Structure 1
Amino acid sequence: MVVSIFRRQARRRRFGNALIAVAVIGLAGCDTFDNIIGKKDAPPLPGERIPIMLHERDRDPDPRVSDLRVLLPPPRANRDWAQSGGRAAHAMHHLKIGKAISARWSANVGQGSEDDRRLLASPIIVGERVFVADLESNVSAINARTGERVWRFRPKVPDEDDEAFGGGLAFEDGTVFLSTGFGRVYALDGATGKLKWMKKLSGPMRAPPSVSNGRVFVVTIDNQLIALNTKTGDRLWSHAGLSETAGLLGGAAPAIDGTTVVVPYSSGEIFAVRAENGRVAWSEALSPVRRIDALATLAHVRGSPVIDRGLVYAISHSGRLVAIDRRSGARIWERNIGGVETPWVAGNFLYVLSNESEIYCLTRRGGRIRWVRPLPKFENPRDKEGPIKWSGPVLVGDRLVVTGSHGEALSISPYTGEPLGRVELPSRISIAPVVAGETLYFYTDEAELIAYR
């Protein structure tokens, strides 16, 4: 969804609440993709087909790695998912979960999505607590074992900002950090929900914060990165990218590795800056590959960048997937693949979800495509009605899990791309699942949090 990021959202219509039927449904069930083929096209004209766009060849499996076996590290248990992307660098690798999982509890945590406002904040988990924000930026702490609410924080929203939305959550050293669509950052006591400090910034935030080593980093919709002291909320420094008048809903969290902060902007720019002072180390611009329409030219880097073993991975909406050397900023490889979801790296492979509803498995060092798996694009493929927006993936228990806006989760083999199963969720979902404590969490558009283990 494309919006003018400075236009006030006025029209509201609330979604009806959906009832949760907690059922024992495993992700290992069997379903086929036969129903996504739709109508057969007319017989093609004779002759050799040559791609009009060279970039189309760039999205096919590479024959040079067709025999390469996909090997992944064994799944490991992670206690926490403390910020967007799991941790500061956004590299979570292969996470552990049981083989036959089922829904254990669900909790309604507040206001869900509306026509012109979308729930954007992903849950975070620290130990036995799940922290989640609703559409109004109300924060709830939920018992991860039972689904019971422990505390709730309601920020005071200025009257002129009652239509604001966006932002997200992060956690460090006992403190929950909340960025909001009404231009304020909050620090809350993780145990009690009591306010520690509040900082008013120059603009609203759609993206979740990132936190590391006593600094919390937030990005405003006018492309400013601001570093705050986690203890006091004092402003430490700021960095500005090019301002954009339009962009996609939502935003990416900066990735942090040591003293390097990699920040993406809606302009398609990526900057690596020093965590201590904001000084620029290098920059990149993920400009559009082709200009078919206004939407195709949006270079917005909405998926968060990932830093892993010396490389930065980033994908733009306009069709650029890149691997960049973290220290020098040299581009190691690039592919003409566009997307708005955070890439996932594990072992020697990278998984990305494209704008064309395809999951790619690429080699981490060379960017060679090992396999491609198309996902359903429409709820009604025959008439091409009900477009599906996919989120993810996450790699958990030898399964890539993605969620669809039509209220379905799919599991796919990370080794071959073959479908493994699916599960029906009680309502639509636009946020990728998160994993902690061998539990898979789904957060639906109705602000319903569901735990599978």
Structure 2
Amino acid sequence: MKRLTAYSVAAIGLTLMLSGCESWFGESEADPLPGDRISVLLHERNINSDPDLAGLEVTLPRPWRNPEWPQAGGGSNHAMHHVEVAAAPKEAWSRDIGEGASDEARLLVTPIVADGVIYVMDAESVVTAYRTDDGKELWEVEIAELFPGEEDDGLFGGGLAVEEGRLYVTTGFAQVLAFDAKTGAEIWRSPTPTPMRAAPTVRGGRVFVMTVENELFALSAADGSVLWSYIGNPQATSLLGAAAPAVDGGLVVAAFSSGDLFAFRVDTGSIVWNDSLRAVRRTESIANLADIRGLPVIDRGRVYAAGHGGVVAAIDLRSGRRFWQAEFVSAQTPWVAGEFIYLLTVENELLCITARDGRVKWVSQLPLWEDPEDRKDRIFWTGPVLAGDRLLVSGSDGEALAVSPYTGQMLGRQSMPDSVSLPPIVADGSIYFLTDDAELVSYR
């Protein structure tokens, strides 16, 4: 059970070690990054901290030890607040899970953890289960072999979720499958009109899935039968991947590549409200994509969502009324922690925002280029995840960074075996990274 009692911890001493040091949660040798940074790429305006918040102290929920990370975002509502990790985690084990990213396929599926097992899917849709304690392989299923003749049509995409001993898998083969989580034996399969790039969300006997054509389906977790569906407007262009729906309080909130956000009743599929996360004033060509790639988050009666169309908003779950909105461009999931939200923009700005009214407490610029002098090899960061008083982000340069959630100061970094395009996950005190070359690394 998550504890939301606020407490404040000084950032002094809460640092990660640089790569090569004994523990990457030790004292940093890196120079701290100043708080405010100037935006340089896509925004029409700079993002600066609100001077009226200078005296506001950042307080966070106490870390809680989440035993599992059973679906995308950590749970069906995607609100994990502040998870616990060991004081000085070290690499426990690593495994090659199969095929990594290539020109033909991408590694899009975030690992999940349940009942001491971590489940992964490689870039060729091979699902494998490993023990979390030592990385021993338990079973493997090659999804492509289940659909002969379609191997080249759905090699990558989809996602994983576990509930009550069943593993649910969405695929690029336009099929949702359920397996026995312990053995990998198939239980049922259910076709969809088009492929899926988003992970399923499971709650209360229902499996919610989104297709690449903006079709939302609610399936029975028992047999895969369709309970209800909603057909949104297809988009000619969207970001690679998609957002898993968020479920809480009898409602499912789904994000569409059109930039629209809809809330449905989980039992009937009736629409409760809808909103659009598209900014009115947009001129940058790359930002014309209105897609919502980050997961919507439901927390204490509010929905938090960020879109590539330039709007981040807090919305009342029941009525759809906006509490506030801010113009930030993001393709990442907002991380809600008590009274603060952490968000990574497309310009690699890491923001601390007040959950109450959306004002910026601090903003820190993460590295933009692997070669900053010549401005070459753009770095793409993913995350953040708040674990043990550190904001963890992973990057395309093969580095994982730790940033202070209190000040935005960079605390340190850890080298990964390869570039990383997926955020880390945390379960039972362990941190897991999946690199683009399909290397699964566990820190404990």
TM-score using structure 1 length = 0.89
Residue in 2 that maps onto 1:46: none
Correspondence for 2:113 among 114, 125, 147: 125
Correspondence for 2:174 among 167, 172, 183: 183
Residue in 1 that maps onto 2:152: 162
Correspondence for 1:138 among 122, 126, 140: 126
Structure 2 residue identity aligned to 1:168: G
Residue in 2 that maps onto 1:147: 135
Distance (Å, rounded) in 1 between the aligned partners of 2:299 and 2:276: 20
Residue in 2 that maps onto 1:278: 269
**In 2, are the aligned partners of 1:62 and 1:370 still within 8 Å (CA)?**
yes
Residue in 1 that maps onto 2:52: 64
Residue in 2 that maps onto 1:386: 377
CA separation of 1:140 and 1:367: change in aligned 2, threshold 3 A = same
**In 2, are the aligned partners of 1:22 and 1:104 still within 8 Å (CA)?**
no
Distance (Å, rounded) in 1 between the aligned partners of 2:230 and 2:102: 33
* Within-5 A mapping of 1:66-145: 66-145=54-133
Structure 2 residue identity aligned to 1:195: E
Residue in 1 that maps onto 2:10: none
Deviation per CA, 1:287-308, whole angstroms, max 9, x where unpaired?
A: 1444334321111000000000
Is there any run of 5+ residues in structure 1 with no aligned partner, and where? 1-20, 42-52
Structure 2 residue identity aligned to 1:73: P
* Within-5 A mapping of 1:284-299: 284-299=275-290
CA separation of 1:384 and 1:89: change in aligned 2, threshold 3 A = same
Q: CA deviation at 1:158?
A: 4.1
Matched, 1:26 2:27: no
Residue in 2 that maps onto 1:397: 388
Distance (Å, rounded) in 1 between the aligned partners of 2:81 and 2:165: 25
Q: CA deviation at 1:207?
A: 0.6
CA separation of 1:234 and 1:325: change in aligned 2, threshold 3 A = same
Q: CA deviation at 1:200?
A: 1.3
Q: CA deviation at 1:161?
A: 4.7
Q: CA deviation at 1:159?
A: 2.6
Structure 1 residue identity aligned to 2:364: R
Q: Please state whether the residue corresponding to 1:296 is helix, strand or coil.
A: helix
* Within-5 A mapping of 1:321-400: 321-400=312-391
CA separation of 1:134 and 1:24: change in aligned 2, threshold 3 A = farther
Q: CA deviation at 1:368?
A: 1.0
**In 1, are the aligned partners of 2:364 and 2:409 still within 8 Å (CA)?**
yes
Distance (Å, rounded) in 1 between the aligned partners of 2:238 and 2:74: 25
Structure 1 residue identity aligned to 2:233: L
* Within-5 A mapping of 1:311-330: 311-330=302-321
Residue in 1 that maps onto 2:233: 242
**In 2, are the aligned partners of 1:248 and 1:302 still within 8 Å (CA)?**
yes
The alignment covers a number of residue pairs equal to 418
Distance (Å, rounded) in 2 between the aligned partners of 1:186 and 1:394: 29
Deviation per CA, 1:237-284, whole angstroms, max 9, x where unpaired?
A: 101221101100011000000210000000000000000111000000
**In 2, are the aligned partners of 1:28 and 1:420 still within 8 Å (CA)?**
no
Q: Please state whether the residue corresponding to 1:159 is helix, strand or coil.
A: coil
Distance (Å, rounded) in 2 between the aligned partners of 1:419 and 1:393: 13
Correspondence for 2:293 among 294, 302, 305: 302
Q: Which moved more, 1:118-127 or 1:154-163?
A: 154-163
The RMSD of aligned alpha carbons is 2.1
TM-score using structure 2 length = 0.91
Q: Please state whether the residue corresponding to 2:45 is helix, strand or coil.
A: helix
**In 2, are the aligned partners of 1:140 and 1:149 still within 8 Å (CA)?**
yes
Structure 2 residue identity aligned to 1:406: D
Correspondence for 1:201 among 192, 195, 199: 192
Is there any run of 5+ residues in structure 2 with no aligned partner, and where? 1-18
Q: Which moved more, 1:192-201 or 1:285-294?
A: 285-294
Structure 1 residue identity aligned to 2:322: R
Q: Please state whether the residue corresponding to 2:60 is helix, strand or coil.
A: coil
**In 1, are the aligned partners of 2:279 and 2:327 still within 8 Å (CA)?**
no
**In 2, are the aligned partners of 1:25 and 1:103 still within 8 Å (CA)?**
no
Residue in 2 that maps onto 1:412: 403
Q: CA deviation at 1:23?
A: 9.2
Deviation per CA, 1:341-395, whole angstroms, max 9, x where unpaired?
A: 1110111100000011011001111111100010001100111101011000000
Structure 1 residue identity aligned to 2:105: R
Q: CA deviation at 1:65?
A: 1.1
